[in-house]
Structure 1
Amino acid sequence: MRRTIHRAGAALLPLLLVVAGCSVGPSQRPAVAYHDSEQQVAPAPQAPKPQPVPPLGSAPTDSLNWQDCTEQTRAELGALPPGMTFSCSRLLSTLDAPEAPEQGTARNSLIRTGSGRVPLVVVGDIGGEPGTTFAARLATQLPPEIRGTFDIVGMDRRGTGESEPADCVPPQQREQIVGFDPRATQREELDELLEAVLAGSQECLLKLDERLQAYDTWRTASDLEELRLELGVPRLHAIGRGEAGRLLTTYAERYPGAVGRFVIDGAPDPTRDSMGQSEQQAQAAEQVFDVFAADCLRRACPLGPNPRQAVSDLVERTRTAPLPAQGTTVPAGRVTQAVLQGLSDRNSWPALAEALAAGSRGDGARLAALTAPQVAPQGVNPPWLDGDLITSCNDTTLRVPPQRSSELAQDWVHRFPLFGGVAVQRVVWCGSWPVPQQPLPTPRRADLPPIPVITTAHDPKALALGTDHLADELPTGVPMRWQGAGHGAIARSTCITDAVSRFLVRGVPPTEGMACPE
């Protein structure tokens, strides 16, 4: 099943409209058998049964050309555990653009580390650091049992990192989009954001052409399948953090027979559309900020007796007077984005408080550093915004008209004072984007192995209730809960990490509904 995309006319540039045909599907009536002139209804087929935890599999017949890249990885991550080495390669798969189905070539950058013989693929959020960086960083934090059993393999998703990066939004528009006023609620104000996104997307269409609509989760799932084949393994074992959980469930719907030991660590709510997911993220971020503020008070952090008010005042001030920083400025939107970025890792909360306090004193350097990866290249890696924008809009069929955006902004900014505005802006991004004809599949297969789904109580990017809904919707989902804070529990919670290790290494599923303390 291929996802055909209609290209919208006035949205970007005059585009060719691809019209998908319709056909009558198979009859849904029960099968009928005839015997001795008596009509008999054949028994209804039995529902598929869940599969057991699959074996790890034999040693793979890897056909990829790996080259040592330890020093490059050390330069990116800093100090590495003693004896830890990395190798890099490149995966070639089919681009499969809407205008050229099953044609063209996509090139994905790969990294590998570990002393085991069984590949364990690690994928992360499309809007965060590149997949190779995320996998390498996580590998340094995983227990020896996992590193000794598996080769940890990371992949830069289409349009990110070194996987033919979508470095196409002009710097001016990129700065405008990321720094846009998070308290803008009027139609005229939001139209300025839409114009910036439109200008950026036009440049992306000119640079990427048919590749633009081939950067999505549906086709990235086929990249994972090609990776499995190149690795020479019968089943894919994988960890998906955050939005990458949707990538793994899409893969499972498309290639159910190739699903190995999957773990999903925080994920969007599959029962909500992209607008509902953005609203949930705003709600989650507000809740996590309250936990951050309480922690700040316990530590007597430099934000004073009311951290929320201190940050709110900083956002208000920078709406009209951006903070100075070397080579750039930090307007209100970047202040809010810096808070979101800092909340994702509880270990960074003291540094986030220091950066916000410095901002209150008029120094934007630390806040600029937190948001720099979104707007500027970092070494060989392109800005995060471009791949996030393209993939996010290619993945959703929802398009909100401008007048509705203003109504949403007024509501969300009122209900979620710090983060409602940036959540609405993500909805606005896709207002003039070509609309995919078919949404991503809903997790529904009942013939999969057990899939642990981890919920973090205070995750700024995935509302706990939303991840719980994924565990409920996934017929073989096994819910696990961590009462801590941050984006992702693996390698942060010893309790969760031990349970995941038992599942991945020894095939022992966690107890359904198990809860781990903070």
Structure 2
Amino acid sequence: MDTSRLLRTTGTVIAAAGLLLSGCTSGGSGTPRAAASSGGASEAPSAVPTAVPAALRTYYDQKLTWRECGVPGFECSTMRVPLDYENPGGGDIDIAVSRRKATDPAKRLGSLVVNPGGPGGSGIGYLQAYAGIGYPAPVRAAYDMVSFDPRGVDRSSPVECLNGPAMDKYTQVDQTPDTPAEQALLVAAFKEFAAACQAHSQRVLPHVSTVDAARDMDVLRAVLGDEKLNYVGASYGTFLGATYADLFPGRTGRLVLDGAMDPALSAVDLNRDQTAGFEAAFTAFAKDCAKQPDCPLGKGSPEQVGERLTEFLRKVDAQPVATGEADRPLGEALATTGVIEAMYDEGAWPQLREALKAAMDGDGAPLLALADSYYQREPDGKYANLMSANAAVNCLDQPPAFDGPKAVESALPSFEKASPVFGQGFAWASLNCTYWPTKATGKAKALAAKGAAPILVVGTTRDPATPYKWAQALGEQLESGTLLTYDGDGHTAYGRGSDCIDSAINRYLLEGTAPQDGKKC
């Protein structure tokens, strides 16, 4: 389970939108959706000059050529940006963009750029599958709905690492090693993944940081003809949006940051907090499961349900369950990833109960399907580049959480305290960036966005991937931050059934009026 800070919007909201934060590999990868690390390029200043530098003028002045594409009603284009903003003459990179025009031109307010998270989630996939048709009608009437695949993602010079068969093996690596030999196998898997990324994506690998993507977003704002950026970012997309606001506070319009990250936390603290977040989500699932007649983990307290799940995972670690695919039996890594996938959205809990029951009866296929959804593996064995891009961005944005296995062993007690169920796997998954070929260019720091217009920060109290306290922290850090709280389960809040949340966000987007700081729904 590759879960080293993989942040994404919930699967029910966007079937193929991407994860938010992570980038690990099974167990500390692919499981908790908290899987990736950091590594990067040169660190950018806290804010860029108000005027567009002469060396970048050609990018800001470019005209986009729109064409029909994919889904009826949507247009696509390609935007040029510098590969390296510190050396604009060193070559370009193409950024894929898509839009759906405002349905009521008379009410048009401009463009609304949306991002589903990840890092590594396809903005275009999210826009065309959900946001461009599923956002509230008044919002779609007033805005051109726009998104882009950030550099390194999907259609925008994607980071490429392991091929399908190699990824199949990678996702099965034991991420809760019990012996030195198993530790060595896990380290070898991380090294192989990193080496493959370097071999296939050497040119872009140093230039896919969140700062780079935020600067691309300002070019996009300009070529769309907008004086200020209006934006909705989910999960990791909140970090991208907050980074933009900190770099370009005077160009910040109406920003919604839903399922917020805390940019001041180190990689190890982010991963440990996310571990606790998934434990809280599992506790909610366990309480619900114990009330259901079909709960395969039995009755009792959440602790008892968790112990039974842990025992099941130990059994499939020792003896994987058949799935109908000879080279992909359901071992501990894939089983854990399947459980993690269902934690993103309480709507997936019935599916998880059925999958666990099937696995306990000898059929691992349903739980494997949940793991495949997490990794964005297609039926033909091909993977989206989500996990590759996720690791590439995270490993640039911050130094590694750990410098080697000894450091992980020292941290295990704190991770297991955060989550008796997932702690060990999340801790080992955090080793992912330790072997990354490109040195991190970013670091943890608070983002104030001094001088920005009011920014709406949204947090869900039992969010597994982006714990609620992160939203509280970001709301405090941002000089103009306003916190909106959803008391509920699942990852992110907008468009998930709360009229209170949706009405507050819609009013902000349409009228510019933020709810009172601290409003709860």
CA distance in 1: counterparts of 2:401 and 2:462, whole angstroms? 29
The alpha-carbon deviation at position 270 of structure 1 amounts to 2.5
Give the residue type in structure 1 aligned to 2:73.
T
Equivalent residues in 2 for 1:145-164 (5 A)? 145-164=138-157
**Contact kept in structure 2, 1:174 and 1:385, CA below 8 Å:** no
Q: 1:106 to 1:122 in 2, by over 3 A?
A: same
Q: Helix, strand or coil: the match of 1:512? A: coil
Aligned to 1:32: none
1:86 aligns with 2:74: yes
CA distance in 2: counterparts of 1:383 and 1:302, whole angstroms? 35
Q: Helix, strand or coil: the match of 2:256? A: strand
Q: Helix, strand or coil: the match of 1:330? A: coil
Aligned to 2:299: 305
Give the residue type in structure 1 aligned to 2:466.
A
Aligned to 1:206: 199
1:451 aligns with 2:455: yes
The alpha-carbon deviation at position 421 of structure 1 amounts to 2.6
1:369 aligns with 2:363: no
Aligned to 1:389: 391
CA distance in 2: counterparts of 1:299 and 1:177, whole angstroms? 35
Equivalent residues in 2 for 1:464-503 (5 A)? 464-492=468-496, 493-503=498-508
**Contact kept in structure 2, 1:190 and 1:406, CA below 8 Å:** no
Query: 1:26-66: CA deviations, max 9, x gaps?
Result: xxxxxxxxxxxxxxxxxxxxxxxxxxxxxxxxxxx994333
CA distance in 1: counterparts of 2:121 and 2:370, whole angstroms? 12
Aligned to 1:123: 115
* TM-score, scaled relative to structure 1: 0.80
Aligned to 2:67: 67
CA distance in 1: counterparts of 2:119 and 2:263, whole angstroms? 18
More displaced stretch, 199-208 vs 475-484: 199-208
Equivalent residues in 2 for 1:336-375 (5 A)? 336-373=336-373, 374=375
CA distance in 1: counterparts of 2:41 and 2:134, whole angstroms? 48
**Contact kept in structure 2, 1:499 and 1:510, CA below 8 Å:** yes
**Contact kept in structure 1, 2:103 and 2:140, CA below 8 Å:** yes
Q: 1:465 to 1:86 in 2, by over 3 A?
A: same
Aligned length: 448
Q: Helix, strand or coil: the match of 2:515? A: coil
Q: Helix, strand or coil: the match of 1:325? A: coil
CA distance in 1: counterparts of 2:147 and 2:334, whole angstroms? 29
Aligned to 1:110: 97
Counterpart pick for 2:215 among 219, 222, 228: 222
Query: 1:452-490: CA deviations, max 9, x gaps?
Result: 111101111011112211111111110110011111100
CA distance in 2: counterparts of 1:217 and 1:256, whole angstroms? 16
Q: 1:105 to 1:87 in 2, by over 3 A?
A: same
Give the residue type in structure 2 aligned to 1:392.
N
Counterpart pick for 1:412 among 408, 411, 415: 415
**Contact kept in structure 2, 1:281 and 1:462, CA below 8 Å:** yes
> How many percent of aligned residue pairs carry the same amino acid?
25
Give the residue type in structure 2 aligned to 1:314.
F
**Contact kept in structure 1, 2:376 and 2:383, CA below 8 Å:** no
The alpha-carbon deviation at position 220 of structure 1 amounts to 0.7
Q: Helix, strand or coil: the match of 1:435? A: coil
* TM-score, scaled relative to structure 2: 0.79
The alpha-carbon deviation at position 438 of structure 1 amounts to 4.0
Q: 1:489 to 1:102 in 2, by over 3 A?
A: farther
Give the residue type in structure 2 aligned to 1:471.
G
The alpha-carbon deviation at position 128 of structure 1 amounts to 6.2
CA distance in 2: counterparts of 1:177 and 1:203, whole angstroms? 12
Q: Helix, strand or coil: the match of 1:280? A: helix
Q: 1:322 to 1:290 in 2, by over 3 A?
A: same
**Contact kept in structure 2, 1:126 and 1:391, CA below 8 Å:** no
Please list every run of 5 or more consecutive structure 2 residues that lacks an aligned counterpart in the other structure: 1-39, 46-60
Give the residue type in structure 1 aligned to 2:66.
W
Equivalent residues in 2 for 1:158-173 (5 A)? 158-171=151-164, 173=166
The alpha-carbon deviation at position 378 of structure 1 amounts to 7.1
Please list every run of 5 or more consecutive structure 1 residues that lacks an aligned counterpart in the other structure: 1-17, 26-60, 74-83
Q: What is the RMSD of the two structures over their aligned residues, measured on CA atoms? A: 2.8
CA distance in 2: counterparts of 1:358 and 1:19, whole angstroms? 46
Q: Helix, strand or coil: the match of 2:402? A: coil
The higher radius of gyration belongs to: 1
CA distance in 2: counterparts of 1:260 and 1:68, whole angstroms? 28
The alpha-carbon deviation at position 437 of structure 1 amounts to 4.3
The alpha-carbon deviation at position 375 of structure 1 amounts to 6.4
Q: 1:20 to 1:315 in 2, by over 3 A?
A: closer
Query: 1:420-439: CA deviations, max 9, x gaps?
Result: 13321332001122322442
Q: Helix, strand or coil: the match of 1:323? A: coil
CA distance in 2: counterparts of 1:382 and 1:435, whole angstroms? 25
